[in-house]
Structure 1
Amino acid sequence: MSKLRDWDNLEVLHRNRLDSRAYFTSYKDVDSALNLKNKNRKGLKLLNGMWKFHYSSTPEESPQNFYEKDFDSRDWDDIRVPGNWQLQGYGYPHYTDLIYPFPVDPPRVPSENPTGCYRRNFYVPEDWNGLQVILRFEGVDSGFHLWINGKEVGYSQGSRMPSEFDITPYINIGENLLAVRVYQWTDGSYLEDQDMWWLSGIFRDVSLIAREKVHVEDFFVKTQLDENYEDGILNIETKLANVDSIEYRDCKLRYILFDENLSKVGETAIDLDLSFQCEKTVSIDIPVNKPCKWSAESPYLYNLLMILEDLKGNILEVVPSKIGFRTVEVKDGNFLVNGVPIMLKGVNRHEIHTDLGRAVPFHSMEQDVILMKKHNINAVRTSHYPNHPRFYELCDKYGLYVIDEADLECHGFELMGDISQISKDPAWEKAYIDRIERMVERDKNHPSIIMWSLGNESGFGSNFKAMTNWCHDRDYTRLVHYEGDFDVEVADVVSTMYSSHEKMEEYGKKENMDKPHILCEYAHAMGNGPGGLKEYWDIFYKYKRLQGGFVWEWVDHGIRRYTEDGREYFAYGGDFGDEPNNSNFCCDGLLRPDRTPTPGLVQYKKIIEPVKVEEIDLSKGQVKVKNIYDFISLDHLNLAWNISGDGKVLQSGIFNMPRIEAHESKVVTIPFDFEKKYNLSTDLWLNIEFVLAVDTPWANKGHVVAWEQFKLSSEYKLPVLNIESIPNVDVKEDYKFIYVKGCNFNLIFNKLKGQICGWNYEGVDILKEGPKLNLWRAPIDNDMYMIKHWKEKGIHQVQHRIDNVEMNIDDKQAIVNIKTFISPPNGDWALECRYIYKIYGSGHVELSIKGNPKGKLPESFPKIGLQMKLPKYMSRVKWYGRGPGESYIDSKEANPFNIYNSTVDELYTPYVYPQDNGNRTDVKWVSFTDERGMGFSVIAEENLNFSAHYYTTEDIEKAKHLSDLNKRDFITLNIDYKHHGLGSNSCGPVPLPQHRLKAKEFRFNTRWEPYSRGDVDGI
């Protein structure tokens, strides 16, 4: 066996890396520290930018002595740092879910180990002379060696954690050379098998830090509240560098605590010479009377300054820190924040940018946090590694609870038959502890972090027990989380993944459980979905020990690419020739790769909204408003209301919400004129919105936080035809066609196909072909495990046999009765179907569909409905039903009832992997017209669904990317009776029983009306 290298030697986690510490910046003076003035940061220089770069397929093939000062790298390429080399033209991105993309032989890694050599010069100014200079890497994937001016400094691995080196002995004043050799694979890669792209290189910030010989090396702030959660104590442990130096005895450490308005709250000082000589760590307490407490709802931050001075009062450095007073504990089977059992309305967030990969810029992090706040999300799990350190600052500031997760996943061992293989191997214990230690030490001062997570999907064993012991010893202020601890031996909370609604009911009913339960992953948001969110939250609120969960996941991992003709698409596994791969399984977020919200995110916002409204007496405008917040009252909101009908606002108003405390309710009267009568033949609705009363850091005044809608009256009825006033109808027939002619319309039936083959109104073609019974939809990602059954039963291949076409005529109408037999080739089941058309001389068409399934039926149908083709100019859409967005039977609550206008283009939802999309449900009527208002409407006897695309179902099903779709010269219109639910079965439960479309006898009726209205108002 060949000699182990640093990168596949378990005994080498680093060489000369400095001890882990908190992430912070020093400033020159108090004012700069309080206002975080970057220009007055003390001794900090970023080395981001363009570096020289050489790529080789193995470490051995990388240039020898490339780190020497006289090495000529002028013909090397330039590469951006931070950045991943696969996204800058070297190697290729590789996506796997749990598959290791190399042979598994721990700790050995492939000899073909892509290697990147980096070089750049940096300048050390004269005023750094005599200071300690540290070189800091925030993240390098996966391991690297470091040289300064030709001399080896050290080695580190662990991709998503910082590495610091003292380079003081190696530098000169003036020009210096920095050289880094990065390895794609290290033994640490066995611990980094997360569900994401494999991307390499220096992908986070690189910086130089210059410090006085005596300086604050590290600190740990902990807040404590008394048993009544009223008064607090701020404890600060400060670790000082070079305590044995002579300079140490001439220093003083002052602590000043300010509130958010920079008014002084408390102050204390330590004379290091007299009190703590030769101590490395000093600890002090600052009592605070009735501090404002931090929570995700009210993220109050104090400002702490640690001022290191000499005895003459000269400031050596000022270290600022944001402080949030809060406690986290488990009591009586719940975890509490500040004494209150909270609900985690969370998401899992990977670090990914559609253009920059894992080099996520700050503005994108902030965009994520603001979007979360705007969509009522209050928690984030950093799946499955520590995020960029500045992300936690944003969570502190805007208010998000954080489960901070260690960079540890060895999921691929599951495929080897023992997922716990290295988790129970003592030889790996040091590597496991290294992962939790570096995360905790870096992030320990953030109030937003309420739990430390040991990692993800790595089985269980002695190494996790060792991690937990280390974690509890180091930090008693937070809980420990690990979903893989199935028996909850060490974790402080019970955590499961993708538990079904039925399972969550069982968990909620469990008695004598001293630990709370969360779903660290659920509601897999892959493609169209997830469905069933409302039912999950009904269960969470039903049982005391269930405290919410984290949707998988926040954003699609698609990488932006363009076709040769310039069309944009988002690449996923396999698009770069990466084998093996898990295809588009990385596109499973509530945001598209460009961070556009999906319908799933809009639905999640609605389901987890923090205000609920119940009807009390609508005739008097009385409703009960319940505050679902855990801490804050509702007086930060205004209540905006209106009465609407027929698409028009008939009354409206806005008023300040009364003070309703957290978890309390109050009856509120909406001051509308309920005696007022309207001459309407449609439903009357009361619409209520709870909007921000003032601007906040994350949204402006008027932002809608929650809403509800109540039907005041049900005036809508299917219009009655006045038979006496209807013109006569003229009908002709031959062996193939039935020709129906009436007032300004012509309609042609193809008897051999049993469907309309042309409908002309006022000389304009409004229907090309159909309707035809349709049971198939372009499979959605969440149909993943149903598709096999559906296709085995041949639902996608059914054939329509026309058994009989009969026609009856009187003066006013033609009745066409079509009997069909629908079955797949060699099928063991069939659908006997009957279409009954009543075509009136006025142009109205009443269509009744009856279906009788027989034989060995499928478990369910994807849908039952009618499909037809319209001329492509019939692109204007108007409907009365749920909207404006996409909705399905188990994901519709986010769409209120109203009259909406759209276009066929706007109906489309552009999922990364094309699939069924754009459905609107609970629709009473829908119209399609051209730009001049010529077209037709479809009116339902019961509610219907509709969708319309410029693509056929087959086009969408065959496409792998949006760029594969080419518009047809017609519109495919679906008028559907019912749909099978969405569920989340790409990695979660199937739709609930009430959302499954069972194969049973059905009947639905519609009325079709051609019309011409220039203003297209109403139908």
Structure 2
Amino acid sequence: MADSPLPFHEDPAPGSGRRPARAEFVSDAPRLSLNGRWRFRLSGTADGTGPSLPGPDLDDSGWDTIRVPAHWVLEGHDRPIYTNTAYPFPIDPPYLPDENPTGDYRLRFDLPPGWPAGRSVLRFQGVDSCGTVWLNGELLGHSKGSRLPFEFDVTGLVRPRDNQLAVRVQRWSSGSYLEDQDMWWLPGIFRDVELLSRPEGGIDDFTVRASYRDGAGTLLVTADAPGHVEVPELGVAAATGERVTIPRVEPWSAENPRLYRGTLTAAGETIELAIGFRTVEIVGGRLLVNGAPVLFRGVNRHEHDPDRGRSLDRATMIRDIELMKRHNVNAVRTAHYPPHPEFLRLCDEYGLWVVDECDIETHGFIYAGWDGNPPAEPMWREALLDRARRMVERDKNHPSVVVWSLGNESGAGSAFGDIEDYIRHRDPTRPLHYERDPSYRHSDLHSLMYPSLDDLERIGRRAEEPPEGIEPDSPDDVRRRGLPFLLCEYAHAMGNGPGSLADYQAILESYERFCGAFVWEWIDHGLAGRDALGRRYYRHGGDIDHQPNGERFCLDGLLFPDRTPSPGLAELRKAIEPVRIAVEGGEVVVLNKYDFLSLAHLGFRWCVERDGVRIASGVLTVPDCPARSATRLPLPQAATDASGGGSDGETWLTVEAVLAEVTGWAPAGHVIACGQTRLDQPAPPPPTPVIEPGATPAIGPEGGGEELRLGPAVFDGRTGRLIRIGELELDGPVFDVWRAPTENDRGQGPRNALAADWEAVGLDRFLHRCTAVERPDDGTIVVRGRSGPATRTLGFRTTFTYRLRGGGLHLLIEADPVGDWHDTAYGHLDVNPPRMGARFALPGGYSEVTWFGRGPGESYADSRAAARVGRHARSIDALQTPYVVPQENGNHVETRWLELSGAGLPTLRVDGEPLLDFTARRWTSEALQAARRPHDLTDSGRVWLNLDHGQQGIGSASCGPALPERYRLAVRRYTWSLTLTLH
């Protein structure tokens, strides 16, 4: 007996009954939005509510109503699920479990008065995962490919009044096997639904080819019906199919998104055209646009909103683009599917390079050893090719789209050859990208994810090792070395980080082979939730009662879920700024790193500060400087005068490049780039502290007594702890090697599991023993101790030496490692301390901090470029960064001095000698580590102040290479010193 045909949702076919894929466009033909409130009922299986769904007599008055577009799991029905690589259902293609939540939708609508007779088209911009559609009881067909549009011809079915539209949406379908894209699984009709009037004899599909060469443009508009093209600004009036050469046009680029507005008319319809002249090509192993090399300073962008999921409105898209432009981002990879078409229209207008990625990822087959991977299986060919066709046909007319990406993390297979053949035949004007096939036969770009800095350097020199399975010097190996390189994912922005952004950018700008890089990723995918007290928080995969789940791995963006920029975005902005400003040989050197723009659109301003106080400022006149070139000009006279020496303190020159005029994405005066240079010579290190001449410190009884005194300082005679300075009660310092692990400390894979190694050897549980409190004859108090974890020999011997100096209490800290730091008894773990510091407990009344050093944002050893040297002031509460998952935050490197103040308390000043790191917060590192959400952190009643030699860097090991050794703290002897003074 023959097998029964598969139901729509399990059939590998991409759909049925649909119209051919075509360009998406805006015209003056009537259009009826069907967005709004629909009737909705959720069922537990793919049968939904049963066969009666499309019937006009079905009584749905008792059904719920739901917003369209939206995801039903964010509208009070069922639950969202997050996985990173794993399928949330058995790998049994093309079949799905019987438990398959299915939403049935119904909408009654009337046509507006005057709706034209003739053709009508019903369009869905996005349905996740499989949508089957009926109109007035007639089956139209079904479609898969969640992030792509599909249309049905409803001519003769739609009527003036009382239309009944019914849609059945299965959460899981055969299409789900192609959509395993490190994201929340969010079912429903989540993009717009529209009814379109199409004039008889009109144009349904057209292609705009607008190329540029040596100042001239060539325009060719072809269509599936005769039409007329007009571009008034260029004096163009031509028939479709007629190639027109324009002697002089301005090219389109992300830096200067010059669009020429025109129209395409046919059969009484006028279609809007936004034409950008540009040519993309690969010449000599370099990616060129309009004949010039380009460097993508990019981000990977999932569509996300904490309340609406992937159902974004236009205002949110504009907000994203404005934030990107304001942070010097010039490119977007649409990870890992085509975005809403409005986003691409906005990229054309605002100016962003786009790598448009197909809605294909089969990453979960890694758990099957890639056995049955769809790109290698013939039964999936049409479904895969259909997704590429719908992407290309929809988006082909956008000048912002400069690269087609065939998909993401889907292994290799013959289907990619079919996709390549289709795209090259249909659109030979753009290069192709696909990263995961090691042969790169179907890609015009070599590409990798998350290489180390050393590996990236080798790639720049075209000296990289061949991928696994590729023979050295084979044709595939030779071809790959000749390709431009696109770093499609790097700098995993999960939690506090990423680090090394400036290091990566320096390499990317040093080799002609590189055409850019895309940080993973733009925004944290936290979904809004409320706790038992009604407090809003952001959920991650681990907050949902479902297995498997990817836990916190969806929180890996440069924006927090509410679109607040993270410190990582500030660091990226600095690392990729398109102008470099430095002082060399007594001159200001301005390097223009734009690919096309001169510096004419920028103004330059400067200021000189001494110890963070402005003493001079002005405007710097910078001659117009072409793209990828430099200019030199003399220092401002006031800056030269200020650097003459003879004054105490540090003198710093800051030069900013700012927008000279308002743009569509930022106001005039918006800072594009900044350079800082110290003008005076750094002072020599202070001499070894000595007791102030004539001072006779009052010292209490030796160790074992109640108290020891050194001037205004009072110590616990048993522990050596400092317990009071004058009227200020405090406690400390306690030797501190611990920080609340960041997501990058927790890493991915055994070689990156720093936090696990730290915890394995007990760095999170140091115990302290005071071995001696000494009172030498030199006017000091010396506290000796040993700190280390239970069950281990490793630790540090510490010496804290106090003396009076300059009206303050000077402290010299010495720390020497002891014991087995290589853990030879327990698997040869080589660990490094994440922090080398001293922690003080201060009264909780302290509320404000002023400091001179890097700021105002947090900074770390490998993430400090965005933090300027200056005088900064913040409340202690504002120093905290509210990462969705609490972790180490708020550190400040290269601090010269800081002052803490609060009502009714003396001002406590700390001077580094010369520098220290500091953090100040109302909870301990241990409380920070234990918290699951920011609102778990409560005021302890004290301020915990860390005054540190330093912390290790941040890195991006949550999904990336291990932290470079130069950003780790070696197991060695450390010394640092500081002075505490009350005012």
TM exceeding 0.5: yes
Q: CA deviation at 1:291?
A: 1.3
Mark the CA change 1:43 to 1:970 in structure 2 (over 3 Å): closer, same or farther. same
**Per-residue Cα deviation, 1:272-300 (whole angstroms, up to 9, x for no partner):** xxxxxxxxxx5221211121100111110
Q: How does 1:165-204 map to 2 (within 5 A)?
A: 165-204=152-191
- Distance in structure 1 (CA, Å) of the matches to 2:512 and 2:48: 60
Residues 70-126 of structure 1 show CA distances to partners (whole Å, capped at 9, x for unaligned) of: 211111111111100001111101010001000110000111111101111111134
TM superposition shift of 1:727: 5.5
1:819 is aligned to 2:784 = yes
Equivalent residue, structure 2, for 1:328:
280
| Deviation larger for 443-452 or 816-825 | 816-825
Corresponding letter in the other structure for 1:548? G
Which deviations, in whole Å up to 9, do the C-alpha atoms of 1:346-366 show, x marking residues without a partner? 000000101111111111111
Q: Answer yes or no: is 1:342 the counterpart of 2:294.
A: yes
- TM-superposed CA distance for 1:799, in Å, is 1.9
The amino acid of 1:701's aligned partner reads A
After superposition, give the CA deviation of every residue in 1:188-242 in whole Å (9 maximum; x if it has no partner): 000000101000000001111012212110111112234xx322211111113xx
Aligned counterpart for 1:906 among listed residues 874, 878, 895 = 878
Instruction: Write the distance in 1 (CA, Å) between the matches of 2:800 and 2:706.
Output: 15
1:613 deviates by: 2.2
Q: Distance in 1 between matches of 2:113 and 2:806?
A: 95
Aligned ranges 1:936-1015 → 2 under 5 Å? 936-1011=908-983
1:696 aligned partner: 663
Q: 1:422-433 residue pairs with structure 2 within 5 A? A: 422-433=374-385
For structure 2, the residue ranges without an aligned partner over 5 or more in a row are 464-477, 747-752, 823-829
Residue 878 of structure 1: CA displacement?
1.2
Match of 2:219 among 234, 237, 240: 234
Mark the CA change 1:97 to 1:474 in structure 2 (over 3 Å): closer, same or farther.
same
1:936 shift after superposition: 1.5
Match of 1:682 among 625, 646, 649: 649
Q: Answer yes or no: is the 8 Å Cα contact 1:647–1:898 preserved in 2.
A: yes
Q: Distance in 1 between matches of 2:796 and 2:4?
A: 68
1:268 and 2:238 matched: yes
How many Å apart are 1:514 and its aligned residue? Answer: 2.2
RMSD (CA atoms) = 2.0
Rounded Cα–Cα distance in structure 1 between residues aligned with 2:667 and 2:904: 39
In 1, are the aligned partners of 2:85 and 2:180 still within 8 Å (CA)? yes
Q: Report the CA distance between 1:735 and its aligned residue.
A: 6.0
The equivalent of 2:244 in structure 1 is: 286
Q: Deviations over 1:381-438 (max 9, x none)?
A: 0000000000001111111000000011010001111177222111111111011100
> CA separation in 2, counterparts of 1:718 and 1:972?
28
3-state SS of the aligned residue for 2:243? strand
> Residue 69 of structure 1: SS of its match in structure 2?
coil
* 3-state SS of 1:8 partner: coil
Match of 1:5 in 2: 7
Where does residue 776 of structure 1 map in the other structure? 738
**CA displacement at 1:64 relative to structure 2:** 4.0
Structure 1 position 879, deviation (Å): 1.0
For residue 387 of structure 1, what is the aligned residue in structure 2?
339
One-letter code aligned to 1:387: P
Residues 841 and 486 of structure 1, relative CA distance in 2, 3 Å threshold: closer
CA deviation after TM superposition for structure 1 residue 856, in Å = 3.4
Aligned equivalent of 1:566, options 527, 534, 538:
534
Within the alignment, does 1:503 sit opposite 2:473 as a pair? no
Matches within 5 A, 1:109-148: 109-148=96-135
- The Cα offsets for residues 802-834 of structure 1, whole Å up to 9 and x where unpaired, read as 222222367xx4x22222222222214232222
2:774 to 806, 812, 837: 806
Count of aligned pairs = 949
Contact 2:691 2:803 survives alignment (8 Å)? no
Q: CA deviation at 1:725?
A: 7.0
- Distance in structure 1 (CA, Å) of the matches to 2:864 and 2:766: 29
Deviates more, 1:586-595 or 1:730-739: 730-739
Aligned 8 A contact 1:739 1:746 in 2 = no
Structure 1 residue 308: Cα displacement: 1.6
Structure 1 CA distance for aligned equivalents of residues 807 and 116 of structure 2: 94
Q: Which residue of 1 aligns with 2:517?
A: 549
In the alignment, is residue 494 of structure 1 matched against residue 446 of structure 2? yes
CA distance in structure 2 between the partners assigned to 1:586 and 1:736 by the alignment: 54
Q: Percent identity?
A: 39
Q: Which letter does structure 2 place at the counterpart of 1:67?
A: P
Per-residue deviation at 1:453?
0.4
The answer to whether residue 833 in structure 2 is matched with residue 861 in structure 1 is yes
Worse overlay, 88-97 or 206-215: 206-215
In structure 2, relative to structure 1, the CA distance for the partners of 1:746 and 1:508 (3 Å cut) is closer
Instruction: Report whether the alignment pairs 1:153 with 2:121.
Output: no
* Alignment deviations for residues 659-695 of structure 1 (CA, whole Å, 9 cap, x no partner): 1001111112242322356874210011100001111
Structure 1 pair 424–846 and aligned structure 2 pair: CA distance change class (3 A): same
Task: Give the Å deviation of 1:578.
Answer: 2.2
* Structure 1 residue 741, shift from structure 2 partner: 4.6
- Contact persistence 1:420–1:459 (CA under 8 A): no
Is structure 2 residue 757 aligned with structure 1 residue 755? Answer: no
The farther-off stretch of 686-695 and 502-511 is 502-511
Deviation at 1:455, TM superposition (A): 0.5
* 1:878 paired to 2:850: yes
The residue correspondences of 1:816-855 to structure 2 (distance < 5 A) are: 816-839=781-804, 842-855=807-820
Q: Give per-residue Cα distances to partners, 1:944-991, cap 9 Å, x unaligned.
A: 111111111111111121122222111111111121111100001122
Change (3 A) 1:953 1:43: same
Q: Give unmatched runs, 5+ long, in structure 1.
A: 28-41, 241-251, 270-281, 310-315, 1012-1019
**Structure 2 length as normaliser, TM-score?**
0.94
State the alpha-carbon separation in 2 of the partners of residues 284 and 1005 from structure 1: 77
Matched, 1:598 2:566: yes
1:797 to 748, 765, 776: 765
Where do residues 713-732 of structure 1 align in structure 2 (5 Å cutoff)?
A: 713-714=680-681, 728-732=696-700
Q: 2:125–2:191: 8 Å Cα contact kept in structure 1?
A: yes
Q: Cα 1:153–1:878, aligned 2, differ >3 Å: closer, same or farther?
A: same
Shift in Å, 1:998? 1.2
- Cα distance, 1:724 vs structure 2: 5.4
Structure 1 distance, partners of 2:179, 2:686, is 63
1:213 is matched with which residue: 191, 196, 200? 200
Q: Kindly state the Cα deviation for residue 588 of structure 1 after the two structures are TM-superposed.
A: 0.4
Shift of 1:558: 0.4
Q: Among 314, 322, 332, which residue is 1:362 paired with? A: 314
Preserved CA contact (<8 Å) 2:86 2:180: yes
Compared with structure 1, are the counterparts of its residues 649 and 678 closer, same or farther at alpha carbon in structure 2 (3 Å cutoff)?
farther
Q: Is the 8 A contact 2:491 2:501 kept in 1?
A: yes
CA distance in 1, matches of 2:301, 2:195: 29
In the alignment, which residue of structure 1 is the partner of 2:58?
Answer: 71
The verdict on how the C-alpha distance between 1:856 and 1:652 changes in structure 2, with shifts beyond 3 A counting, is: closer
Give the TM-score normalised by the residue count of structure 1. Answer: 0.91
Q: Decide whether the 8 Å contact of 1:853 with 1:1000 is kept in 2.
A: no
Distance 1:587 1:489 in 2: 34
* Bigger Cα displacement from structure 2, 298-307 vs 678-687: 678-687
The partner residue of 1:299 within 257, 275, 286 is 257
Partners in 2 of 1:177 and 1:593 — Cα distance?
A: 38
C-alpha contact (below 8 Å) 1:731/1:738 kept by paired residues:
no
- Corresponding residue of 1:589: 557
Say whether the 8 Å CA contact 2:521–2:557 is kept in structure 1. Answer: yes
Aligned-partner Cα distance in 2 for 1:126–1:935: 74
Report the CA distance between 1:738 and its aligned residue: 5.1
C-alpha distance in structure 1 between counterparts of 2:236 and 2:760, whole Å: 72
Q: Give the match's secondary structure for 1:478.
A: coil
* CA–CA distance in structure 2, aligned partners of residues 914 and 180 of structure 1: 42
Counterpart of 1:962 in structure 2: which amino acid?
P
Structure 2 vs 1, CA of residues 722 and 953 (structure 1 numbering), >3 Å: closer, same or farther?
Answer: closer
Q: Does 1:108 align with 2:95?
A: yes
Q: Flag the 1:534–1:738 CA change in 2: closer, same or farther, 3 A.
A: farther
Deviation (angstroms), 1:542: 1.7
Residue aligning to 2:17: 16
Q: 2: CA distance between counterparts of 1:638 and 1:670?
A: 16
**Change in CA separation of 1:609 and 1:724 when aligned onto 2, cut-off 3 Å:** closer
